[in-house]
Amino acid sequence: MEMIVNVGLFIGGLALLVQGSDYLIQSATTLAKSFGISDLLIGLTIVAIGTSLPEVMASLAATAAGGADLAFANIVGSSITNITLVAGIAAIAAPLSTNHIVLDRDTKIMILAGGLLALMIFNPVAFGTIVIPEAAVLLLLLIAYLSFLYWGRTECDRCYQFSIFVDFFLRFKFLTSIREARRNPPGSSTDENNESKGETTKIPLRDVAIIAITAIAVSVGAQWVVTGAQYINSAWGIGEDVIGFTVISLMTSMPEITVSINSARHGFGRLLVGNLVGSNIVNIALGLGLVPLIFPVTFSIMSSGILLAAFLILSLIFYYVIRRDWRVTRAEGIGMVLLYIFIQVIFISISQGAFL
């Protein structure tokens, strides 16, 4: 009976986590539009961060319950899943075409985020730990990335270049960009402001209620997932890192798989690849930037090292595949899916002691 309850909590928690996040994004977007916030800013904030909400919430709940390795495997595992399984299935459905912007900007920033994370984990001063200053760097990287996307649309014709982003980040130009955005929000004009004077913004109470309910559902779902995962770990001897990388990261990526197949079939390859890479940047920078600020964590060097090495190698392969002919063919998509399966088998075997 105990097994049925805990497995049920695990499955039900995953459903609440994924579906609740989806409804939360939709209602938050509607609410933001009712206050006159532009589609651009909504996309760069609510949608960008909201798509990583299941991973972040599950990782926060796991860390609070002492499951740091579950949290790490979930976040990095989800990022691996995006650039192998999700991109591969989409390419099998229809070849993905992209361009140099995604390669020279987003993909390199994703590799930078993974590289910074590796340096933090293997920092000899705090081995296996992300300390607060390092977590702050990851969060600043996320803020800089989102600000760079906003700033580059109007201020810079060559903002797809990685070197420009590095300068933007290291010289804290994103702080100036944020101040300018607050003074001159996109889509606003004097005429529009004059027309709206005296008008009272109607707050859609239905969306406020949905946001409140789904926020609770997502939190509860995250707790259930962690409770179920820890039971499986103790009862069946399956490592938390294995559960995080296999089941949880896969289930939290299911919405992306569905959307990716539809996007590929409708010819939105560039948008799809950009979204997957952007999601990885948010996963790493937000998930592993926020968690250490709230809870002190220490990760397993073995499992985190394997996952980080796999992520960086697969990111470089992903970069090469795109760079070769600016598209991902069906054959390459099959290769990505096989790489995902291969990494899963290797990680499970090592973590469970098959190779030891």
Encoded tokens for 329: 């063919």
Rounded Cα gap, residues 85 and 90, in angstroms = 8
Rounded Cα gap, residues 120 and 236, in angstroms = 32
Q: Which of 88-97, 294-303, 341-350 has the highest mean pLDDT?
A: 341-350
- In order, the DSSP letters of 285-347 are IIIHHHHHHHS--B--HHHHHHHHHHHHHHHHHHHHHHHHHSEE-HHHHHHHHHHHHHHHHHH
Cα torsion 64, 69, 70, 75 to 10°: value is 100
Q: What are the φ and ψ backbone dihedral angles of 341, each rounded to 5 degrees?
A: -65, -40
Encoded tokens for 353: 């002691």
The contacts found for 309-315 with CB under 8 angstroms, 24 or more apart, are 310/80, 310/343, 310/347, 311/76, 311/79, 311/80, 311/114, 312/111, 312/114, 312/115, 312/118, 314/80, 314/83, 314/84, 314/339, 314/343, 315/83, 315/107, 315/110, 315/111, 315/114
The pLDDT score that the predictor gives to residue 335 is: 94
pLDDT by residue (tens digit) across 184-227? Answer: 655 544 444 444 444 555 667 788 888 888 888 888 888 888 88
Give me the count of residues in the chain.
356
| pLDDT band, very low/low/confident/very high, at 345 (cuts 50, 70, 90) | very high
What totals of helices (H) and strands (E) does the chain contain, helices first?
Answer: 20, 2
Comparing 355 with 82, the larger pLDDT belongs to 82
Cα torsion 90, 96, 99, 104 to 10°: value is 40
pLDDT by residue (tens digit) across 267-319? Answer: 776 677 877 888 899 999 999 999 888 888 889 899 999 999 999 999 999 99
pLDDT by residue (tens digit) across 20-40? Answer: 878 887 888 888 788 776 665
| pLDDT band, very low/low/confident/very high, at 163 (cuts 50, 70, 90) | confident
* Nearest CA-CA partner of 256 in 133, 82, 93, 104: 82
Burial of 179 (0-12, 13-18, 19+ CB in 10 A): exposed
Does residue 45 have a pLDDT over 80?
Answer: no
Encoded tokens for 103: 């390669």
The pLDDT score that the predictor gives to residue 88 is: 92
Q: Is the dihedral of CA 61, 66, 68, 70 positive or negative?
A: negative
Rounded Cα gap, residues 220 and 69, in angstroms = 20
Domains within the chain, CATH numbers bracketed = 2-351 (1.20.1420.30)
Q: Is the dihedral of CA 328, 330, 335, 337 positive or negative?
A: positive
